[in-house]
A and B are shown apart, each in its own frame.
Chain A
Amino acid sequence: MSPVQTLFGSLSGGTTVTLAVLLPLFGTAFIGLFRARPNLREAATIVTGLLLFGLVLSLWPQIMAGENPRFVLSTPIPGIPLVLEVEPLGYLFSLVASFLWIVTSLYSIGYMRGHHEKNQTRFYLFFAIAISAAMGVAYSGNLFTLFLFYEVLTLCTFPLVTHHQTEKARRAGRVYLGILLSTSVGLQLLGIIWTYSLAGTLDFQVGGILDGHISARMVPVLLALFVFGVGKAAVMPFHRWLPAAMVAPTPVSALLHAVAVVKAGVFTILKVSVFIFGPELISGTGAADFLIWIAAATIILGSLVAFTKDNLKARLAYSTISQLSYIVLGALLANQWGIIGGGMHIVMHAFGKITLFFGAGAIMVAAHKTEISQMKGLGRSMPFTFGAFFVGALSIIGLPPAGGAWSKWFLGLGTLEAGELGLLAVLMVSSLLSLAYLLEIPLKAFFSKPDRPPEQEGIREAPLPSLIAMGITSLGTIGLFVFPEPFYRLMTMVVGG
């Protein structure tokens, strides 16, 4: 009996699932209550995070036993309940999001105080709501519930993106909300309602619900409504919101725009591919043939644009756009390895990219530098930060000893299973590109001479909480290379292996 089970063992599965969504909301009450006492306020965030992660962990035995704990919240429309249900793919997403929330909270304490940000209570409040929404996305039992939490996630991150309330933030907020809402309302919702009118249900079912209800001619159209309608997956041409969102404080970029929000997007596409269409329908009708190449184009173009960016966060944003399409590609290949690779990449990319963002934030707080060209020689004053950055970069590129190697391996297998050598080439080229644009940064920091040496005197490492957070995620990245097994097991359960 592990301590986790002792603590939460008495709860039934359905209750645990519901609590996992509600717990961060209870946390907001304490965050609001302690608004005048920052230490207690942050303690409330961390305690909530730990409890949440404990709750999620306590579900592990049930998931492994093949049970899907389920809880019906209410019935908004007759026949379409608001329902939470955990299956292995959602469980994987929730594990990553809830764990990285704790780490990010730790990081935020260092960053927000080091950067003297205003309105910190509001920041932590909406952060907690965002995690609640992300858990809701992970545990949605049908497409209707997923859409609800998806939109809540869009809206509650708006105040985080526009945290500084400047003119620049206002304009970025418009792009953010404009693209995310118009794709979700204009395309995704139409797809959902269409699906409902065809299948008469929106439940996620193994093998999909659409088979036999839709003519082969219309499958590509409906699939396109979802792929483009899930704007959070940032498939081009609906990717502009992600670079715009970089005006946010760095912890927001780190957790939301490398983990929770964007992964909610690709997670939705995976869910739709596996549980709404079903792999057979997609591969049987060749529905994704055209969309796969859009994802491939996003992979290459994202990497190419990343090259041109001198601003570190902008470069990371375009790198994210490119990496997200790896997962979309896996979902659209809709074969066993593609889906496993896509799911694994949710985890691997999350750990790698959050480390990179933490690094970017640490540089900003400690050295007040945002442009890559200014970072020459900075590695000597901030060796730990750039070391962690290096490990994160390895994972994104897909090199051992970082976890990213596994997911790229499986995705490569997926392209071979589909017999698409061209796609394999795309993956390889993009990896090479990311090698160049990511490794440039630590190399410059460690091996180049600073342009104006005196300027860099007095720069020291970032605040301690931020360093601890970076340590955890970069070690995690290496750990995932050695122990990818739990996530691999979850993904094999998804594809029914």
Chain B
Amino acid sequence: MSEHLPVLLVVIPLMAAPTAALLRWGRAAWGLATGTSWVVLAMALLILRRVQDEGVISYFLGGWAAPIGIEYRIDTVNAWVLMIVAAIGALVMPYARASFEREIQPSKIPLLYAGLLLCLTGLLGIAATGDVFNLFVFLEISSISAYALIAAGPDRRALHAAYKYLIMGSIGATFIVIGIGMMYAMTGTLNMADLAQRLPEVSSRTVSVAFAFLTVGISLKLALFPLHLWLLDAYTFAPSAVTVFLASTATKVAVYMLVRFFFSIFGPGFSLEVMAFHWVLLPLALIAVISASLTAIYQLNVKRLLAYSSVAQIGYMILGVSLASVTGLTAGLLHLFNHALIKGALFMAMGCVMYQVGSVRMEAMRGLGKKMPWTMAAFVLGGLSLIGVPGTVGFISKWYLVLAAVEAGMWVVAALVLVGSLMAVAYVWKVVEAAYFQEYKGEFEVRQAPISLLAPTWVLVAANLYFGVNATLTSGVATRAAEVLLGVGP
């Protein structure tokens, strides 16, 4: 049984998705989705542990060996990503019940659970597979389900947001499949390990073009500046629970794709020395950090504010990756996890506000410090983590990132990272000031959010603090993953 874990991880949510759609009763679909997500988390943790103990897991689908069949290949890097996705999934599902019941028509709710499960399947599949075409298939599964999920948002503008994402996402996916096609044409294989072996032998212009197509396609998927415009509306208008899920997982998996292609398939030698990708991505990442943080300060809708902040945070991750040292990659990979915790907590808090107040615009925050103390306290703590106050996960990420920049002698980069966190103070504090320094002026009585929303929120907040003072586990895994990618160390 346990040797089939890599495939079960993907198959179980895949089977659960249509079942959830068939269940007409929202609560039943919710039960199924929640149960599934917890089983998935347990499996992801088992896999992570096995990879830690025994090294790389290689699994052949249907027993067909690599060049013909599909291989699932899990090392520290993707075991780490699988764990992040599964953990967020396991927290979002219980959260979704109350949130969906408030925001979505009852008849559509089972379909949304099916969508969430499909999206989970796709993201897990991308992370688990060792076959580039299989990766593309899972990418489409996750993307298409995400379009549908976003379109279900309570605001009619959600349709427009989903449409925009559909167009941009499809362009991205097309670029990726073109890149994959070119690689296949040159090497005759789709297996990642085989590609890594054969690509250096056939290095030609085509490989370089494939590299370029993949870079642009994946950058679209991970919303790297200036390809980030789809993300803003998508996060703003999607149902609250969907925003939490996508913000904490989808872009993270795209970052994973980027490092997998750059470091494992093309190899650091080709990516860094021949293509010098880091000199392309580094400036873009910095612009993302500064410009998105700056724009976030002026937003009047808190979900949109957080969406801009996500663009900035993605900038941090890509910055870490493009520093291309063990410390830099560690920073990037660590921030995958840490940012999932941060944005998860913040968007969940906004979901609580949406549930009780019915709006997440800045003026809706007035006086909520008193009316919804637990929700706003969660937001403040999550916000502090986003800023990178010591004692939170955000600080650990920033520590590694600045250390990597200092080690590389890039003082300007180090300074800009810190300027970025100061801008975060500005936009987080806007919400804090509205909540604590203004009186509630609404007509109806606002009460505390229900426990089923608050509990997952506070689990994430607690994780923000716990992994902020005890990051040995997370930074250890991230460092090992960085070493695997750069091909150094044990």
Contacts and interface: CB of A to CB of B under 8 A. Distances in A.
Interface in A242-258: none
A339 to B, nearest CB: 27
Interface in B461-488: 468-472, 475-476, 479
Interface stretch (B31-39, B112-120, B419-427): B419-427
A82 B472 CA distance: 12
Interface string A297-319: 00000000000000000000000
B418 A76 contact: no
Given A185-B418, A186-B419, A77 B475 contact: yes
Contact of A165 (B403, B436, B470): B436
B406 A77 contact: no
B399 A148 contact: no
Interface stretch (B230-238, B302-310, B383-391): B383-391
Interface in A51-99: 73-78, 82
B453 interface: no
A46 interface: no
Contact of B470 (A76, A170, A189, A196): A76
Given A148-B390, A181-B422, A193-B399, A78 B414 contact: no
A78 B390 contact: no
Contacts of B407: 197
Task: Give the most central of B387, B391, B422, B479: most A CB within 10 Å.
Answer: B391
A165 B432 CA distance: 12
Nearest to B407: A197
A230 to B, nearest CB: 15
A185 to B, nearest CB: 5
Interface string A174-185: 100110011001
Contacts of B437: 162, 165, 167, 169-170
Contact of A170 (B402, B433, B476): B433
Contact of A75 (B388, B398, B470): B470
Nearest to B421: A185
Contacts of A194: 406
B415 interface: yes
B391 A189 contact: no
A77 B478 CA distance: 12
Given A77-B399, A193-B403, A148 B391 contact: yes
B414 A190 contact: yes
Interface residues of A, number: 31
B184 interface: no
A194 B414 CA distance: 10
Interface in A190-212: 190, 193-194, 196-197
Nearest to A165: B437
Contact of B422 (A73, A75, A185): A185
A346 B399 CA distance: 31
Nearest to A154: B389
A76 B384 contact: no
Task: Give the most central of A75, A76, A167, A181: most B CB within 10 Å.
Answer: A76
A186 B414 CA distance: 9
A43 interface: no
Nearest to B414: A190
Contacts of B400: 77
A197 B418 CA distance: 17
B396 interface: yes
A193 B433 contact: no
B470 A181 contact: no
Given A165-B437, A185-B421, A76 B402 contact: no
Interface residues of B, number: 33
A174 B406 CA distance: 30
A190 B418 contact: yes
A147 interface: yes
A167 B399 CA distance: 35
Contact of B469 (A76, A147, A155, A177): A76
Nearest to A148: B390
A182 B406 contact: no
B270 interface: no
Contacts of B60: none
Contacts of B475: 77-78
A355 to B, nearest CB: 33
Interface in A140-160: 144, 147-148, 151-152, 155
B396 A189 contact: no
Task: Give the most central of A148, A182, A189: most B CB within 10 Å.
Answer: A189
B429 interface: yes
Nearest to B419: A186
Interface string B314-345: 00000000000000000000000000000000
B402 A189 contact: yes
B425 A190 contact: no
Interface in B375-411: 384, 387-391, 396, 398-400, 402-403, 406-407
Interface in A415-470: none
Contacts of A185: 388, 418, 421-422
B472 A78 contact: yes
Contacts of A147: 390
B96 to A, nearest CB: 32
A82 B469 contact: yes
Nearest to B468: A76
Enumerate the 6 nearest inter-chain pairs by beta-carbon distance, A residue then B residue, closest first.
Answer: A148-B390, A170-B437, A74-B470, A197-B406, A193-B402, A76-B471
29 contacts: A73-B469, A74-B469, A75-B470, A76-B468, A76-B470, A76-B471, A77-B396, A77-B399, A77-B475, A78-B476, A148-B390, A151-B390, A152-B390, A155-B389, A162-B437, A165-B436, A165-B437, A169-B437, A181-B425, A185-B421, A186-B418, A186-B419, A186-B422, A189-B398, A190-B415, A190-B418, A193-B399, A193-B402, A197-B407
Interface of B: 384, 387-391, 396, 398-400, 402-403, 406-407, 414-415, 418-419, 421-422, 425, 429, 433, 436-437, 468-472, 475-476, 479
Given A77-B475, A190-B414, 14 more contacts: A74-B469, A76-B468, A76-B471, A77-B400, A151-B390, A151-B391, A155-B389, A177-B429, A178-B425, A181-B425, A182-B422, A185-B421, A190-B406, A193-B414
